């Protein structure tokens, strides 16, 4: 254990957050100094919101950069890997609203360490406001401490509050749960010390930068507390706020000024022996308060359970009257903790009671029905197996009402409660052992106590959107918000039709409108630019953090979609009834986590630790020299028409200089050697705008076609997942068209991902700047170096600034050309070209835009039409006739021209199905082809 005298000193802690339309990006910069000559362990520890995902972690120690990588989580994970710890881990200060990210690294004597962390979260609207929390607990006084929060929104920002620093777990939990103005809430004129607010219509900025003396007045132990910002945005009674950016959309729906819907609620309360003392006392206090908040028109009942089950009003729900409220208070007052915990019996009794009422003559049409279930323990009486309890609950509920669960303390089966609520359209809330349970119970009830809508269905123009997140909702509660995101299938469309249906008491509500896509795109871009400008203002570390955040904030709508899709996948995993269904949701959520570099329950963050010698100095970085005798000038050769030619860089110069390998995270764990063998590739390719070329050697024909995709689209190039285990996807990036072009924009491949499933799952992700190989070990290779890596069945050879060759086994190889511009014009983008080298290992049932032609033969014929003097050439593909014209295409970075037969209209009739059939949800998607022979 580090003593106060030997632990490194935190010189600087800077935290910068930007919230763009409720989606928050946070970057943390921490500098530690080891003043002593001996090495010391520096512990970087940060509390992050439980719903947030870490998206990057980097250490700079001894002048060396240690970049983290996100990997799929294995069954057993080493504890030294950086990760966010959940409530059940051995953290000294558990909190249901926070998790702890902790990383320990050895800092050489008289040296500094820099820790950089970014995380992202979608702020949830509760009780009519959003809340952003930054927990400041450096555990020592910090010389330079700063917190900057910038909020930018499409709608005007209103009701902004900056609260006094919140200290203490119970105090914090109570304040978070209740939403009322407790003593920790600042008055309008009262702010935390050293806090400055700049508030404009659509942008506000809050800074908190106390010096050491100001910190010491708050506390001397470095536990400053929670810095809270609360706000809402102006909203109209309508369809909500739809924002569009780079091929994705996000829809925020939170209607106002609606009458409350009557509710039927059964409170099921644990009165087992473990509830004795503070728990039962605070539960009673909360229930007394909730009784006062029940509305005329509501119906209710109470059930208490331990080893025995007691029903306050058997076989019925009663209306809210003064007499019934008085009698309910007596029942609550007389609750006495004793006995065991019969969870299954309590749920069955409450469900039967509510179901019987709803089928009777007294039930109010279109009312909202729910069970609020509270326990502090695990099942000990009656049915004790979680799966059986869940099955019994589903059968009892019959999808007729929702179950909301609350767990108090540390001895609760939270997984059971979470699944029970998720499977029955509810949600679960944790209450920490030391929290103010009364305030949190009341706060939770306030969130769900005023239903405004039921049976909400939100639809969009058919065939205009895809991969839309949850759009059917059982209930909408006052003060909350529904958020939906998805991909646009046609970014050139003028509008998107949005149609909302719902029920409010005895009324049906229909809302619909046409959202102008191009106008919304420009508006969203405007607010992103405003956020980026605010972020990059200033100097030093603050500016550097702002630049880092700005680089990812430009794709915030897509990241909202990824964030929500992962959350949805995790919920679906818990609700899964079969192992196959569960594995499907796990795989999809894992792939999305890897795509967006999110640390989720399905991934793990891995980072190499620096090696420090006994004398406190840094061990030398591992170096990888070229193998003896491998001094040939050319590394990875591409062929010309008749023979092989030397690879060229973008400016036409030959590449072949040997350069040292980078200091990589997993250095030494994979074999790295310079490759001498040459790789032969075919004309079959997708390069440029993108232009597709398919060579049919048996037919002695070459065919070509264009794909006019949209930025953000992911195209399936090769699909052989079921047979050889290989899938290749390419992601498009947009660019303005050159002057005089007939196109509005161009698209190029920005990422090529190759996923391999045999003998074990691995993938290679290629961008113009780097190559990520995740095989036996994870390796990141820069495209600026010449290097080769062999990792089992996968090997990658990079020729600096020229090309990347990927080899799978003995009979499959692909070559990716790197198109990089030193001084790009406005219409130029660094991009990739994809070429098939060896396809012998791919099966005859291979599919994809290129893969479907690998084993096909085609024929050329002529079609005579009336009035034409000359017959028109047509291509015979399977049983289809495709009109074609002859063209010339440049391939291999313009070093070779090929004559080809060109098929128009996005390769209509040439390819199986339609272009849209080849769009994937993300770059790691291995879903099979549903329209051809590859999906059987």
Write out pLDDT tens, residues 746-798: 889 999 999 998 777 788 999 998 888 876 666 778 888 888 887 667 889 99
Q: Using alpha carbons, select from 5, 43, 35 the residue that is nearest to residue 109.
A: 35
Radius of gyration of the chain (CA): 31
Q: Answer with the residue of higher pLDDT: 36 or 744.
A: 36
Question: d(Cα 57, Cα 868) in Å, to the nearest integer?
Answer: 66
What pLDDT score was predicted for residue 183?
37
**C-beta of residue 325 within 8 angstroms of C-beta of residue 287:** no
**pLDDT digit string, tens, across residues 842-857:** 999 999 999 999 888 8
Question: d(Cα 753, Cα 766) in Å, to the nearest integer?
Answer: 6
Q: Strand 157-162's sheet: what is its strand order?
A: 125-126, 129-136, 225-233, 157-162
State the DSSP H helix or E strand holding residue 465, giving kind and residue range, or none if neither: strand 465-466
Question: d(Cα 718, Cα 730) in Å, to the nearest integer?
Answer: 10
The structure tokens listed for 690 are 């993108």
Looking at 98-218, list the stretches that DSSP marks H as alpha helix, in order from N- to C-terminal side. Answer: 169-178, 212-218
What pLDDT score was predicted for residue 130?
96
Instruction: Give yes or no for residue 331 having a pLDDT over 80.
Output: yes
Question: d(Cα 685, Cα 702) in Å, to the nearest integer?
Answer: 11
Euclidean distance between the first and the last CA atom of the chain, given in angstroms as a whole number: 59
Pair type for strands 762-766 and 770-774: antiparallel
Instruction: Give yes or no for residue 923 having a pLDDT over 70.
Output: yes
**Residue 835 neighbours by CB under 8 Å, 6+ apart:** 681, 682, 684, 685, 687, 814, 815, 816, 817, 891, 892
Instruction: Give yes or no for residue 743 having a pLDDT over 80.
Output: no
The structure tokens listed for 693 are 């070329």
Instruction: Give yes or no for residue 663 having a pLDDT over 70.
Output: no
Length of the chain: 936
- DSSP string across 633-678: S--S-EE-SSSEE--B-TTS-B-----PPP--TTTTSSEE------
Q: Strand 507-516's sheet: what is its strand order?
A: 472-477, 451-460, 495-504, 507-516
Question: d(Cα 500, Cα 455) in Å, to the nearest integer?
Answer: 10
**For residue 734, what are the β-bridge partners?**
747
Q: Which of 85-99, 154-168, 173-187, 560-574 is the most confident on average?
A: 560-574
pLDDT band at 424 (very low <50, low <70, confident <90, very high): very high
Instruction: Give yes or no for residue 484 having a pLDDT over 90.
Output: yes
**C-beta of residue 622 within 8 angstroms of C-beta of residue 667:** yes
What pLDDT score was predicted for residue 272?
94
Read off the pTM.
0.69
Question: d(Cα 735, Cα 826) in Å, to the nearest integer?
Answer: 8
**Residue 649 neighbours by CB under 8 Å, 6+ apart:** 655, 800, 801, 802, 820
């Amino acid at each position: 254990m580090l003593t106060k005298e030997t632990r490194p000193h935190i010189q600087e802690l800077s935290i910068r957050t930007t919230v763009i339309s409720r989606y928050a990006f946070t970057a943390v910069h921490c500098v530690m100094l080891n003043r002593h000559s001996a090495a010391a362990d520096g512990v970087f520890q940060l509390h992050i919101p439980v719903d947030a995902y870490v998206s990057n972690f980097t250490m700079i120690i001894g002048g060396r950069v240690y970049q983290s990588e996100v990997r799929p989580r294995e069954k057993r994970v080493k504890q030294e890997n950086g990760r966010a710890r959940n409530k059940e881990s051995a953290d000294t200060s558990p909190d249901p609203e926070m998790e702890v990210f902790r990383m320990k690294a050895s800092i050489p004597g008289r040296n500094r360490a820099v820790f950089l962390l970014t995380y992202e979260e979608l702020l949830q609207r509760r009780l009519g406001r959003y809340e952003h929390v930054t927990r400041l607990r450096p555990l020592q006084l910090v010389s330079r401490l700063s917190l900057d929060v910038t909020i930018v929104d499409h709608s005007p920002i209103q009701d902004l509050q900056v609260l006094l620093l919140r200290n203490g777990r119970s105090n914090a939990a109570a304040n978070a749960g209740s939403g009322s103005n407790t003593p920790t809430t600042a008055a309008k004129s009262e702010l935390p010390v050293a806090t400055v607010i700049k508030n404009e219509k659509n942008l506000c900025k809050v800074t908190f930068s106390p010096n050491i003396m100001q910190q010491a007045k708050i506390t001397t132990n470095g536990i400053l507390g929670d810095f809270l910002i609360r706000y809402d945005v102006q909203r109209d009674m309508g369809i909500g706020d739809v924002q569009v950016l780079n091929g994705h959309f996000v829809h925020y729906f939170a209607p106002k000024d609606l009458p409350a819907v009557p509710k039927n609620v059964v409170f099921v309360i644990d009165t087992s022996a473990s509830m004795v003392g503070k728990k039962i006392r605070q539960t009673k206090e909360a229930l007394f308060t909730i009784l006062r908040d029940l509305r005329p028109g509501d119906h209710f009942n109470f059930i208490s359970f331990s080893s025995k089950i007691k029903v306050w009003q058997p076989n019925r729900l009663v209306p809210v009257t003064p007499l019934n409220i008085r009698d309910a208070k007596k029942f609550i007052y007389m609750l006495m903790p004793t006995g065991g915990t019969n969870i299954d019996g309590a749920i069955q009794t409450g469900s039967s009671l509510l179901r019987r009422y709803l089928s009777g003559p007294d039930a109010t049409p279109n009312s909202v029905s729910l069970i609020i279930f509270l326990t502090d323990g695990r099942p000990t009486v009656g049915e004790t197996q979680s799966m059986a309890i869940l099955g019994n609950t589903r059968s009892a509920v019959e999808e007729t009402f929702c179950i909301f669960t609350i767990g108090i303390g540390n001895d609760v089966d939270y997984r059971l409660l979470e699944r029970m609520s998720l499977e029955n359209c509810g949600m679960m809330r944790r209450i920490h052992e030391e929290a103010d349970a009364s305030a949190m119970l009341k706060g939770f009830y306030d969130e769900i106590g005023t239903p405004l809508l039921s049976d909400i269905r939100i639809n969009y123009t058919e065939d205009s959107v895809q991969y839309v997140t949850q759009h059917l909702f059982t209930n909408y509660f006052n003060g909350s918000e529904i958020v939906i995101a998805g991909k646009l299938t046609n970014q050139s469309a003028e509008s998107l039709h949005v149609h909302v249906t719902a029920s409010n008491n005895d009324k049906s509500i229909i809302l619909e409108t046409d959202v102008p896509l191009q106008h919304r795109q420009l508006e969203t871009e405007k607010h992103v630019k405003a956020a980026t400008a605010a972020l990059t203002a200033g100097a030093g570390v603050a500016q550097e953090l702002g630049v880092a955040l700005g680089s990812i904030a430009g794709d915030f709508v897509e990241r909202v979609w990824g964030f929500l899709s992962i959350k949805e996948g995790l919920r679906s995993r818990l609700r899964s009834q079969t192992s196959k269904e569960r594995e499907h949701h796990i795989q999809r959520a894992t792939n999305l986590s890897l795509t967006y570099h999110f640390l989720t329950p399905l991934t793990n963050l891995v980072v190499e630790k620096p090696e420090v010698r006994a004398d406190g100095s840094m061990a030398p970085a591992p170096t990888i020299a070229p193998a003896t005798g491998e001094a040939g000038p050319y590394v990875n050769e591409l062929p010309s028409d008749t023979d092989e030619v030397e690879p060229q860089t973008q400016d036409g110069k030959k590449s072949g200089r040997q350069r040292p390998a980078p200091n990589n995270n997993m250095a030494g764990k994979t074999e790295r050697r310079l490759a001498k063998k040459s790789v032969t590739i075919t004309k079959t390719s997708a390069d440029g705008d993108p232009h597709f070329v398919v060579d049919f050697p048996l037919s002695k024909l070459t065919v070509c076609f264009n794909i006019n995709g949209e930025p953000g689209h992911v195209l399936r190039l090769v699909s052989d997942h079921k047979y050889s285990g290989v899938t290749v996807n390419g992601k498009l990036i947009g660019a303005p068209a050159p002057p005089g072009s007939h196109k509005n924009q161009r698209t190029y491949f920005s990422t090529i991902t190759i996923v391999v499933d045999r003998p074990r799952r691995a993938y290679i992700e290629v961008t113009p700047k780097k190559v990520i190989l995740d095989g036996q070990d994870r390796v990141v290779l820069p495209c600026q170096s010449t290097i080769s890596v062999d990792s089992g069945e996968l090997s990658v050879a990079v020729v600096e600034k020229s090309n990347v060759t990927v080899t799978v086994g003995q009979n499959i190889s692909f070559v990716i050309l790197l198109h990089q511009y030193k001084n790009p014009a406005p219409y130029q983008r660094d991009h990739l070209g994809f070429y098939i080298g060896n396809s012998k290992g791919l099966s005859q049932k291979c599919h994809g835009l290129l893969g479907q032609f690998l084993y096909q033969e085609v024929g050329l014929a002529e079609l005579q039409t009336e009035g034409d003097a000359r017959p028109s050439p047509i291509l015979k593909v399977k049983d289809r006739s495709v009109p074609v014209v002859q063209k010339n295409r440049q391939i291999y970075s313009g070093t070779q021209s090929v004559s080809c037969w060109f098929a128009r209209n996005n390769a209509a009739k040439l390819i199986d199905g339609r272009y849209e059939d080849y769009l994937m949800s993300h770059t790691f998607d291995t879903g099979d082809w549903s329209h051809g022979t590859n999906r059987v």
